[in-house]
Amino acid sequence: MSRIEDQPTPTKGSVLAAVAFDMDGLLVDTEPLWWRAEAEVAAAMGGHWTEADSIECVGGPMEKVANIIMARAGGGDRDTIISDVIERVIALLATEPVKWLPGARELVAECAAMNLPHALVSASPRPIVNGVLNALGHAARTFAFTISADDVPQTKPAPDPYLEAARQFGCAPSAMLVFEDSPTGTQAALASGAMVIAVPHVGGLVPHPRMHVTTSLSGVNVQWMRRTTQMLTVDTQE
């Protein structure tokens, strides 16, 4: 994985070219489904799953989830555990309503209305991403493309997903703004060289000059994004 120091940083006054959104816990309230599936798989194997375990797994990757379940259960097959968790989440997506988090739907719609290129970049496997998109329907069809954990050599916290997003956008990573909610996701975005707006709900974040932290997407709009990214790029240079 590339070090943050090796990645390009934005230049003062750089233009915001595109926006990349994380999915779970940022746009949609699916983290409880993940936590339930993880707990069910751990329990089926004789292990005890805690809230702290769920928080540790926020943002992925799936290998981390499997490793912790194996530790709690005293063994198991990693690939089978990953498959079981994914299958349980897919089943829950089919029966539980998928809800946009506050401000998320409005922000995505405004990006579309203002012709600001935007995409979905998730650490979830492709079947989960597709399941969420299907559940959200028309409101989620404005993304220029979507990237899942299955679409890149390494998923978050590696920078690969956001480097691939910048490639598909046709812009430098430093001209891309990423919205993330987890330490794993922000690490990936910063390592790619992108600017970051973090909306944390669990876990602590390490401050960074290319990252601004806010409490919610409510009230966030394109004008605010452009103003905030200008402050981030200036701070990076000073």
State the burial class of residue 128 (Cβ atoms within 10 Å of its Cβ: 0-12, 13-18, 19+). buried
Q: Is 235 tagged catalytic? A: no
Out of 6, 22, 79, 235, pick the active-site residue. Answer: 22
Tokens at 101, concatenated: 């988090």
Distance, CA of 64 to CA of 158 (rounded, Å): 14
Q: Is 29 tagged catalytic? A: no
Distance, CA of 24 to CA of 1 (rounded, Å): 23
Chain mean position to CA 6: 22
Tokens at 56, concatenated: 């540790």
User: What is the maximal distance between C-alpha atoms in the chain?
Assistant: 55
Q: Please report, as a single letter, which amino acid is at residue 35.
A: W
Closest CA to 21 of 235, 139, 205: 139
Out of 24, 29, 53, 181, pick the active-site residue. Answer: 24
Neighbours of 233 (CB within 10 A): 23
Integer angstrom CA distances of residue 164 from 5, 192, 205: 19, 9, 24
Partners of residue 20 on adjacent β-strands: 119, 178
- Catalytically active residues are 22, 24
